[in-house]
Each structure stands twice: as structure tokens, then as C-alpha cells.
Amino acid sequence: MVKILVPFLLVRVLRGWLYPGTRRNLVRRRNNVKDICEVAEALGIELISKSGGYWSLCPFHDEKTPSFKLSPEKGVFYCFGCGAKGNAFHLTQKMRSCNFEEASSWLLSLSLLTTNNKTVPMVEQKEINEHELRLVLSALARYYAKSLSESVEAGAARMYLYDRGISPETTIKFGLGYAPSRSIGQISASRYFLQELQQKNVSISIPAIDAVGVKSFPKRDRFAERLVLPIRDPAGQTVGFGSRLLPQPTIYKKNVPKYVNSPVSSVFAKSRLLFGLDQAAPFIRQHDEAIIVEGYFDVLTLHDCGIRNVVAALGVTLTRFQIEHAARYSESRAVILLLDSDSAGNAATDKLCASLLPNLVQDAGLDVSVSHLKPFKDAADFVQSIRKHQDDAGLRSLFAQTILANKIPWEQRRDKVLLGDLFKPGAPNENGDQDVQRQREVDNNSIVVI
């Protein structure tokens, strides 16, 4: 027994002395991935939420219905089709065909890893020049816009915009586009377009093309057959794209997300951008007030009928940065939160007023109020219904009246939330995290406050 134990202990002691903290650091690194869902999205995996988890078509085998499941609470993935499994590091390594250190380094470069710099050696990465990324993105934006106006297969997208009441002028102003489905062998249409540009000596590199995520799976463009909405910085430069599934697409089956965004890159961080800000900024200044809505189409339809001091968050989050950013263009730093009138929108507004705004308003000196457009679900619904029997001038005045009539200071909403909680002793907070999280699972396009 002693003969076995002594060498065993000796090896343990020696290993600890030679490589202090190796195992501990490894474990810590694995625990420091912020969110496997964010990692998956950054890798170009499109997620949908259903039955208590996040699902996707498996990136490692060919399939038509999603069997690839992510469990954010455990930080792992598992494919019921091919058995692929692991944590965020395994996923990154497999998707990017790299080793553990390179995966760590990549995750770190996108701020998807929180770590002490000493524990993760930075592997030198080929730096993708920000200028080059912007060049690729603006070339793509032009390509998508041209496809929308010219290509035969974009007919469904043009019809969709027409049905939603988006005029050609607004379409052009916002640079809306369409991503064609055409594939050249294994190369997606968008990628083929960029590689053609590259051959014409336009200075773009393959890593820059990869970074904008125009091809997420071997056989499919991330935005193929979708309406594409450029996300621009305040200066009007395209930094990424949002996209919307069109009714009855030909290549998709069920279970695909309605909205898909560009992957995270050095110029595209969803939590720091607002849709429509480049168009809205002068009008926020003029009206001395910014209106924040939930969806791309709320912004587009309001803008279309002349209500232009409006911006939207991208996807499911509304952050402190976004609210402050919208307020920056108003002299009195006035912001109206006009989220959807459904339960998810209400829960998000409650949560904002109860938890995020108290500090934000104090720190940043904002003047925030809350309003709604009930009985209409959202601004797009309001515009579409009212436009049937009002001209745009009438609509604008009705909109202003409705907003004003329903407007309350954020503190009043906060007090209502707190009072509501007081009268439910012992009951779970119905506006709390769990509820918002549940809503997120029900409707992946609803706002969640973070």
C-alpha cells in the first residue's frame, strides 16, 4: 500500500510545484464564459428559444429540424442528432478549428470571457482591421440594397415592405436590403460577392469576410432569403445587420428565428447600438426628446409618417448605455420609453423603472417618462391601423396626443411596481427576473432588460 501511495503523492506534489494552479486556472477559465448563448451567436449559430432551452440547427451535421440544444444555466451544448457535446470552449474550438488557447483568446477579444489576464495567455491573433470590416459591411449593405430593388427573387421582400406600409423613400433612407439565396457551389451569394470584390483588388481579406458572418453554415448564408436592415453608427456607417424572416420562405422550415443579427465583432456590439439613431439624431435634437421603441418596424413605420425622433434597441436587450445614448441628442436629456403593450413589454418597463432607472437617472441626469399606445400592441400596429382612416398629419397629431395622455414620470411607474409587490407578501415578484426570462423564452423578439 505504502509502495503505491508514496510515488502517487510524490507525483502530485511535484506536479503542483512545477505547474502551480494549472488545474485551478483551467477550471476557473471554464467557469468564466459569460454566456454560452452569446458565444454561439458570436460563432454565427442562430438560436431559437423553446421548451426551456435554446435550440439551433446543428452546425456539425446536416439537418432540417433543430436538434442542437444549448443549456445556458449549465453552460453546455448537446446535439441529439450526432451526439456532439461540450462547453463554450469546445464549441469555439470545433467551430473555428482551433486549440484551447486560441479559443480562449478569441473569446477574450470579443469580451465573452471574464478573466484575470494572468491566467489566459493571449495568443497573437491576426488583427482584423476595423477599417477593413467597415469596408466589407458597407459593400455588403450596397449589395443587399441593390438586390432588394433589382432581383426577381426579392419580390416577396418588396411585397412585405409594401404590406407593412414602408415607402420606397424610407426603404432607401434606411438602406433596407435583401440577401439572395443563390449559391455558387458551397459559397453563399454574399460571400461570393465579397470574394469577387477581393479579386478586383479591393483590399479586403478572408478573415474580414468571416468576421461579418455572411456564411454561418456550410451551405447557407446567415441572411439568405431575409429582409436585411443595416444597423448604422450615429455617423451613418453600417456596422452590422439585422434581418427578418419573410413570410413563406422557400429554404427554411419551421423553428427558425424571426430575427437574426450579425455576429459580434469589433464594430458590432448589440448592447451599444440603436437602430435608426443616424436618422433620428437631428429630430431628437429638434424635438428635444428621444422615443425608444422595441422593434425595427416601429421605427420604420413611425419614420415613414413623419415621426422621426424614434430609435429601437436591437433584439432582446435594452441597456443602460442605449438609454443614455439616445438621451445624448436631447438638450434636456428627455427620453420616452414606448415599449410594446403586451405582457413582455410591460414587464420590461416595470423592471426598467424598478431597477435600472433609479441609478441611471441620478448618475446621468436623464428625464425619463413612460408611455404606451394601448389598445395597440406597438407603434407599427398603431400606424397601420390609424393610417387606414387618417392622413399622416392627422396621424402625427393623434400619436402626440396619445403619448402625452398616457405619459407618466418613471418614478410613478416605479412606485406602482413597488406598491404592487408590497401587496403580494410571500408571492414571487411577478415583474422579476424569472418572469422576464420566461417571456424571453415565449417570444424571442421581446425586450429583456439587462
- Binding positions for Zn ion, rule: CB under 5 A: 58, 60-61, 79, 81-82, 84
Nearer to Zn ion, 68 or 174 (CB): 68
Determine contact, residues 100/120, Cβ cutoff 8 Å.
Answer: no
Nearer to Zn ion, 84 or 269 (CB): 84
Nearer to Zn ion, 217 or 376 (CB): 217
- Alpha-carbon distance of 81 to 95, in angstroms, equals 17
Cell of 139: 459593400
Please, what is the minimum distance in Å from the beta carbon of residue 278 to Zn ion? Answer: 40
Amino acid at 449: V
Pairing of strands 310-312, 290-293: parallel
Nearer to Zn ion, 80 or 376 (CB): 80
Nearer to Zn ion, 14 or 82 (CB): 82
Residue keyed to cell 407603434: 379
Nearer to Zn ion, 79 or 357 (CB): 79
Amino acid at 116: N
Q: How many CB atoms lie within 10 A of CB 56?
A: 24
Give the burial string for 164-194 (b: 16+ CB within 10 Å, else e): bbbeeebbebbbbbbbbbbbeeebbbbbbbb
Nearer to Zn ion, 60 or 160 (CB): 60
If we measure between CA atoms, which residue out of 331, 284, 286 comes closest to residue 310?
284
Distances (CA, A) of 183 to 79, 103, 215: 27, 30, 11
Determine contact, residues 445/259, Cβ cutoff 8 Å.
Answer: yes
CA atoms within 13 A on the CB side of 418: 11
Pairing of strands 334-337, 290-293: parallel
Please, what is the minimum distance in Å from the beta carbon of residue 186 to Zn ion? Answer: 19
Please, what is the minimum distance in Å from the beta carbon of residue 81 to Zn ion? Answer: 4
